Amino acid sequence: MGNVGMGHGGKCNSSCSVKDCQEVKNEVRRDSLTIPETSCAVSHGRLDESYELGAALGKGAQGFVHMCKDRTTGVVRAAKLMDANKSSAKAAFQREVYFLNLTRESSVIRVIEVFMQPSYNAIILEKYEAHVKAMVKEHSLKHKRRQGILSDSSLQSVMRQAMRAVTYLHHCNVVHRDVKATNFLVDRMDPDDPDMRVVICDFGLARSLEPGKFLSCPVGTRRYWAPEMYDQSYWHAVDIFALGVMLFLISSLTYPFQTKEETQTRSVLPPSGLGTLATEMLTRLLAKRPKQRQPGHVLALHPWLSGNSHTVAEQERQLPRRSLQQKSKPDVTGGPLEDEETSARLPHGWELSLHDGAATTSGEGWESDLILI
């Protein structure tokens, strides 16, 4: 659950400039935040006194996920355990708790309780059956097919809920930076069940990013990277591109691009069996230039996701003009580096990097209007 995969585990990598890494280091020292009063409880007791740990569910770069059972109620949860003495794991833990408490929406996994122990920190989360990729693989084996693995209605259900989650995060000025099939969880293994719930998880690489600013450190899972991630100048649009990679993957159990060159230059060839409207959506999600990649609240109106019988062109004519176009790419010379503002808080003594060299610019980036589906 929530594996980091091929990503960089939330740290600056070797491709970052020394200046970028120093900026992030300075920001870690400056930011001191605490969790809002309305958020989950932070327990100072022992985890094993409240929960019985069970089988391992997954492993990531910063920790492990185990099944656990509440000793009082018997309710089964998931416990994400992260090394309290490892700086990168501690930073990922702090970011995870911060953003999970900042975002309150049914398409985002819910945090139940947080434990801070001398040797490890733990986040108690809702328990789900599996991630989307595992569900698709099981369905493929069961029906002995690799093309057209899911029905069109099942694809719609998964992508509609995934789009809802990402659109909500962007409305909150949050860029996830590790959107992928293994970071979306399902509450059942039958994709044809209309009540199947899909939620996004793993906020260890998430950042606050307001319109007109961009990020520079390339992080996340490389096969999901947008072209601009390689250029080290990106914003929320990278999450939209990653949704396109995810749609391609769950349609075929293969990835659309294998290399940096393919990602930046090769047009996508839709998987065999993908419907006309789904193919049109895939093309929009995987647009090479970020300013041509539509925001989630616009894509949500596409007939493949909305179920509306109007044509795409008709729906776009009904939208405000400003909602359809990404403003010009932020100009890095537009202003000095400065801290983001945020009202959320973390426990006393915590420090948190919410940026990665985010630059203030004269551009505004995407509109923040929200249309939930």
Ramachandran region, residue 47 (left: φ > 0; alpha: ψ -120 to 50; beta: rest): alpha
Rounded CA-CA distance 235/183 in Å is 19
With pLDDT > 90 as the criterion, what percentage of the chain qualifies? Answer: 63
| pLDDT score at 9 | 43
Rounded CA-CA distance 104/108 in Å is 7
Tell me if 213 sits within 8 A of 361, measured CB to CB. yes
Model confidence band, residue 89 (pLDDT cutoffs 50, 70, 90): very high
Start-to-end Cα distance in the chain: 25
Q: Highest-confidence range of 68-82, 134-148, 352-366, by mean pLDDT? A: 68-82
| pLDDT score at 7 | 38
Exposure pattern of 175-193 as b/e (b: 16+ CB <10 Å)?
bbbbbbbbbbbbeeeebee
The distance of Cα 41 from the centroid of its chain, to the nearest Å, equals: 24
Residue type, 218: P
Predicted confidence (pLDDT) at residue 56 exceeds the cutoff of 90:
yes
- Residue 296 three-state SS: helix
What's the pLDDT tens digit per position in 170-229? 999 999 999 999 999 999 999 999 999 999 999 999 999 998 899 999 999 999 999 999
Query: CATH fold of 37-126, please?
Result: Phosphorylase Kinase; domain 1 (3.30.200)
More reliable by pLDDT, 356 or 268: 268
| pLDDT score at 149 | 84
Which of the residue ranges 4-13, 62-71, 261-270, 281-290 would you say has the lowest mean pLDDT?
4-13
Q: How many CA atoms lie within 13 A of 101 on its CB side?
A: 27
What's the pLDDT tens digit per position in 228-273? 999 999 999 999 999 999 999 999 999 999 999 999 999 999 998 8
Residue count of the chain, please give it: 373
Domain with CATH 1.10.510.10 in the chain: 130-308
Question: 130-308 — its CATH code?
Answer: 1.10.510.10
| pLDDT score at 110 | 93
Token pair in block for residue 210: 């307001």
Exposure pattern of 56-71 as b/e (b: 16+ CB <10 Å)?
ebbebbbbbbbbbbee
C-alpha dist (Å) from residue 18 to 86, 217, 346: 22, 11, 28
Tell me if 124 sits within 8 A of 180, measured CB to CB. no
C-alpha dist (Å) from residue 30 to 21, 313, 336, 337: 15, 47, 16, 13
For the chain, where are the alpha helices, taking DSSP H only? 18-30, 47-50, 87-102, 132-143, 152-171, 227-230, 237-252, 260-265, 276-285, 296-299, 303-306, 312-318
C-alpha dist (Å) from residue 218 to 20, 319, 366: 11, 33, 20
Tell me if 84 sits within 8 A of 26, measured CB to CB. no
Predicted confidence (pLDDT) at residue 313 exceeds the cutoff of 60:
no
Domain with CATH 3.30.200.20 in the chain: 37-126
Task: Output the average pLDDT for the chain.
Answer: 78
pTM over 0.85: no
Tell me if 142 sits within 8 A of 265, measured CB to CB. no
